[in-house]
């Protein structure tokens, strides 16, 4: 999947300045960049929700995209279960729903309405809905942000499992270097003004078993921090 020379303005303000990016299929692609650099805007363009841009997007089938938005977009008048079924037009295997629901600690909340849930639980419903959607491309916008440490770990474990089992191509946006290193097979770093380029790295410390050594990770972190500094 290829994104070529994307240029995006809001009024007079140039947000994306000829951004190009290769999204590696069946891999976790992380876009890392500071707040406000245009990560969400790029996801909206890729998802086809924002059509007001210049440039090209090749190899993406829109109806096969699952999108975990930064804010949860749940239908308040439907139960958790019905939110999930509705998004996938009912094409969800009950067994998978129960299995993933359990892994996310949502078993007892499936009949609840979103308004009866805490922010963290709502975010888990948001993720469950996306994991169950029949997608080949999964777009995730700061999806683990509002979760506590324990829940975050369980959610990430399920995410890694689903990605592998379903051979999903993932494009995950974050401003957390830690998260990028933990999750990304490929890390695309958004430099800040004035160049706003994306540089791609193969993550040498990626391992779904999470066995990278801390010293190695530290040196990679420092390398990346140095680079971001130079660009900014
Ligand atoms: N609808 C809009 N109208 C005008 N400006 C916008 C609009 N949406 C986003 N922007 C601006 O575009 C820039 C990029 O926003 P975007 O949300 O894509 O950044 P981001 O990297 O995802 O940041 P964050 O991690 O904080 O969400 C910001 O300066 C933002 O204020």
* 114 C-beta closer than 6 A to ligand 1: no
> DSSP class of residue 23?
P
Q: What is the structure's pLDDT at 208?
A: 42
Rounded to the nearest whole angstrom, what is the distance from the C-alpha of residue 172 to the centroid of ligand 1?
Answer: 16
User: Is 60 exceeded by the pLDDT of residue 232?
Assistant: no
Ligand 1 atom closest to 41 (CA): 18
Write out pLDDT tens, residues 163-179: 999 999 999 999 888 88
| Mutational pocket test of ligand 1: of 11, 14, 15, the residue with most ligand atoms within 8 Å of the beta carbon | 15
Q: What is the structure's pLDDT at 213?
A: 45
The size of the chain, in residues, is 232
What does the alpha-carbon distance between residue 194 and residue 16 come to, in Å, rounded to a whole number?
Answer: 11
User: Is 80 exceeded by the pLDDT of residue 48?
Assistant: yes
Least confident of 32-41, 98-107, 116-125, 200-209: 200-209
Ligand 1 atom closest to 37 (CA): 21
Percent of the chain with pLDDT over 90: 47
* 175 C-beta closer than 6 A to ligand 1: yes
Task: Write the residue with the smallest CA distance to atom 5 of ligand 1.
Answer: 10
Which of the four pLDDT bands, split at 50, 70 and 90, describes residue 80? very high
Give Cβ neighbours of residue 206 (< 8 Å, ≥ 6 apart). Answer: 28, 181, 183, 184, 185, 212
* 32 C-beta closer than 6 A to ligand 1: no
Task: Write the residue with the smallest CA distance to atom 6 of ligand 1.
Answer: 10
- Provide the greatest CA pair distance for the chain: 51
| Higher pLDDT among residues 167 and 92, named by residue | 167
* 15 C-beta closer than 6 A to ligand 1: yes
The answer to whether the bond into 102 is cis (omega within 30° of 0) is no
Least confident of 82-86, 145-149, 186-190, 219-223: 219-223
* 130 C-beta closer than 6 A to ligand 1: no
User: Is 70 exceeded by the pLDDT of residue 209?
Assistant: no
Read off φ and ψ for residue 165, nearest 5 degrees. Answer: -65, -40
Least confident of 72-76, 103-107, 109-113: 72-76
Rounded to the nearest whole angstrom, what is the distance from the C-alpha of residue 36 to the centroid of ligand 1?
Answer: 5
Write out pLDDT tens, residues 4-29: 889 999 998 888 888 888 899 999 99
């Amino acid at each position: 999947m290829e994104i070529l020379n994307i240029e995006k303005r809001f009024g007079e303000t140039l947000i994306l300045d000829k951004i190009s990016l290769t999204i590696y299929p069946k891999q976790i692609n992380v876009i890392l960049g500071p707040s406000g650099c245009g990560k969400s805007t790029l996801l909206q363009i890729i998802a086809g929700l924002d059509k007001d841009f210049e440039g090209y997007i090749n190899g993406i089938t829109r109806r096969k995209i699952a999108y975990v938005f930064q804010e949860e977009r749940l239908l308040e008048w439907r139960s958790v279960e019905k939110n999930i079924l509705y998004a996938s037009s009912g094409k969800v295997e009950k067994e998978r729903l129960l299995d993933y629901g359990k892994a996310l600690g949502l078993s007892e909340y499936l009949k609840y309405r979103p308004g009866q849930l805490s922010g963290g639980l709502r975010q888990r419903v948001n993720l469950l809905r996306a994991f169950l959607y029949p997608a080949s491309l999964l777009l995730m916008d700061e999806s683990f942000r509002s979760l506590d440490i324990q829940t975050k770990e369980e959610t990430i474990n399920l995410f890694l499992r689903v990605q592998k089992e379903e051979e999903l191509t993932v494009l995950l946006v974050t401003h957390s270097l830690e998260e990028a290193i933990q999750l990304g097979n490929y890390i695309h770093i958004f430099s800040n003004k004035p160049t706003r380029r994306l540089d791609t790295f193969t993550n040498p410390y990626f391992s779904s078993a999470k066995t990278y050594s801390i010293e190695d990770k530290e040196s990679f972190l420092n390398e990346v921090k140095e680079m971001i500094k130079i660009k900014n």
